[in-house]
Chain A
Amino acid sequence: MRRPPLQKNHAYLGIAALLAFLIAIPFFASDYWITLVTLILIFTVYASGWNLFSGLTGYTNFGLAWFIGVSGYISSLLIADHSFSWLFAWPIGAVLTSIASIGVGYILLRIKGVYFAISMVALTEGTRELFGTEYLTAITHGGKGVPFVAGIKLSSLYWAILLLATLTLLICYKITSSKFGLRLLAIREDELAAETLGIRTTRDKIIAFALSAFLVGLAGAIHFTYQNYIDPSFAFSIHLTLTPIVMTLFGGVGTVFGPVIGATLFTFIHEILWAELSLLYMSVFGAILMVLILFFPQGLLGWMKEREILPRIRKI
């Protein structure tokens, strides 16, 4: 028997209530909870940003940390060395990262899948080494890192990332139900056929890539302002690429709300595991990734759509 689909009005009411609750959090919750929700929101943007490009086009981006690190470095250096306000430093970092990603995409996105994935790993590793070399010490402070204070209150930072996460989800929601989103899906299913039908695949891929870079870069800038510190091994860490991918795979690749669910769950898991078994933490994540690919490749939302617990539409 078919289950009745979710009532649209109820869904909107629920989202509005959740949003109101999230906006109100700094007025009553302790700093610990604000911090935790801030992290959830940062990783929501990372995961959704990864999903926006990789989930729709099927081009696996193993260089998410490159977006995060480059934007984080630009904004942190602007704040630390050139006394910019965070209000300007963040968007400048994100926009420059997005522009750089157009250049990278122009080189790497003309070639089929796997080469793209590995060269993004190489790019991230290479940039990390480059930022740590003695030749760039004058600009990047070399390998010893940059501590800085941005002078932003935790609550303002929280509202900023909440705004960004909401916008990111709205953009993902709009894109999946747009013609642009359909073109990206066509690339994932059969790139050659899509091209034959007149889709300018390289252009569409680069647009999605640059949009993903902008959103993830903005979240990266906020992330490092929140940490008050940046160094090459931290900014380009494999952890920053791996975690959002695991989150997205768990929630459901190519869905709008899957990455949110994954980010929420895995940030809590991180809180628990990190304290209990910090040394084995990364191996647990690696193992989860393998298990997800082998036994649960459609993710939680994909699974619920298959069982018709949720309606089978792209907008969820």
Chain B
Amino acid sequence: MLNFLEILIRGLMLGSVYALVGMGLTLVWGVVGIVNIAHGEFVMLGAYFAFWAFSLLHLNPLLSVLLSIPVFFSLGVGIHKKITERLVKEHELSALILTFGMSILIWNLAQFFWTNTYRSVSYLTGNFPLMGLVFAKSKTVSFGLAVGITAGLFLFLKYSKWGKAIRATSQNPEVALVCGINTMKMRMFTYGMGIALAGAAGTIISLQWVIFPQMGASYISKAFAIVVLGGLGNIHGALAGGLIIGILEAMVTQYLSAKMAQIIPSATILLILLLKPTGLFKK
């Protein structure tokens, strides 16, 4: 039974990071109306950001987590301004194909420049015991960071003026525009936030797992599973979805095999679309 509790906690810690990736995707999808297939690639870039900062500049990885937020925010704003804003009014599938191309471009460039070597940030290794259970230091710290960023995001969306404007744009862009909200600016800001969440999640991921140029693919399928579970554009749903995917993954890895755990995202997407396409959670 103790073992079961340990796996449950491991799943929750895993899920908290997945939720960050999923919330970024669902936020951009809901507000900007663009499905960013390249979202996983920004997770990969975030992980490499922490890796290079650590190995070249000897920057503390915890500091790169904080630093990655403004860096990736600006990157996202730039990309949206130059590229994706043109597609907002087009058929949604144009944006889908475009971001698909972007995803291929980014991970292949990463593969070209950084090679296929598996890398990792060796910081915070080792375990510590607490109340009879054993915790990995890196995973516990990652969990704390993920919870912190999630709380910050929720407070921002709930109470700040910009957060309210973003929610208004998501609910009805035309009415928001009539009420004097600059929806174009909100889309840009939200796109930046989505990319920043992906980048921050990437830096956190680099603390606990190996990183390689193609890692984005596994995170994008998890993020899609989370969005489908939580319902499109639903941030709270995405948080719950992330935790569910994390716990499922920990359980399947433990009781079946690691290879089977990789089928979870696809199986979840297909099952949810078959049974309840609007997602499990009310907005």
**Chain A contact residues, CB within 8 Å of chain B:** 58, 60, 62, 107-108, 110-111, 113-115, 117-119, 121-123, 125-127, 129-130, 132-135, 238, 242, 245, 249, 279-283, 285-290, 293-294, 297
Contacts and interface: CB of A to CB of B under 8 A. Distances in A.
A249 B94 CA distance: 11
Contacts of B93: 58, 60, 113-114, 117
B120 interface: no
A286 B108 contact: yes
B98 A119 contact: no
A107 B270 contact: yes
B273 A115 contact: yes
- The winner among B94, B109, B265, B266 for most chain A CB atoms within 10 A is B266
B217 interface: yes
Interface in B247-283: 257, 259-260, 262-263, 265-267, 269-270, 273-274, 277
B259 A134 contact: yes
25 contacts: A107-B270, A113-B92, A115-B277, A117-B96, A119-B270, A122-B225, A122-B270, A123-B266, A125-B265, A126-B263, A126-B265, A126-B270, A129-B262, A133-B259, A133-B260, A133-B263, A135-B260, A238-B217, A281-B108, A282-B104, A282-B108, A289-B98, A289-B101, A290-B102, A290-B105
Contacts of B96: 60, 62, 114, 117
Given A286-B101, A286-B104, 17 more contacts: A58-B91, A107-B270, A110-B277, A118-B269, A119-B269, A122-B221, A122-B224, A126-B266, A126-B267, A132-B259, A135-B257, A279-B111, A280-B108, A281-B108, A283-B104, A283-B109, A286-B105
B35 to A, nearest CB: 5
Nearest to B275: A107
A122 B269 contact: yes
Contact of B104 (A121, A127, A130, A238): A238
Nearest 7 pairs of A and B residues by beta carbon: A126-B266, A289-B101, A286-B104, A286-B105, A283-B108, A122-B266, A282-B108
A238 B273 CA distance: 23
Contacts of B210: none
Contacts of A285: 101, 104
Given A123-B266, A282-B108, A286-B108, A111 B277 contact: yes
Contact of A294 (B86, B92, B273): B86
A267 to B, nearest CB: 18
A288 B106 CA distance: 13
A146 to B, nearest CB: 18
Given A129-B262, A290-B98, A118 B112 contact: no
Contacts of A287: 101, 105
A270 B173 CA distance: 44
A118 B265 contact: no
Contacts of A297: 94
Interface in B77-106: 83, 86-87, 91-94, 96-98, 100-106
B39 to A, nearest CB: 11
B14 interface: no
Interface residues of B, number: 42
Interface in B110-131: 111-112
Contacts of A118: 35, 37, 224, 269
B105 A283 contact: yes
A62 B259 CA distance: 23
A238 to B, nearest CB: 7
A293 B94 contact: yes
A122 B93 CA distance: 17
A62 B92 CA distance: 14
A245 B104 CA distance: 13
Nearest to A121: B221
Nearest to A122: B266
A111 B273 contact: yes
A110 B104 CA distance: 28
A130 B270 CA distance: 15
Given A107-B274, A125-B221, A125-B266, A286 B102 contact: yes
Interface string B209-232: 000000001001100110010000
Contact of A289 (B97, B259, B260, B266): B97
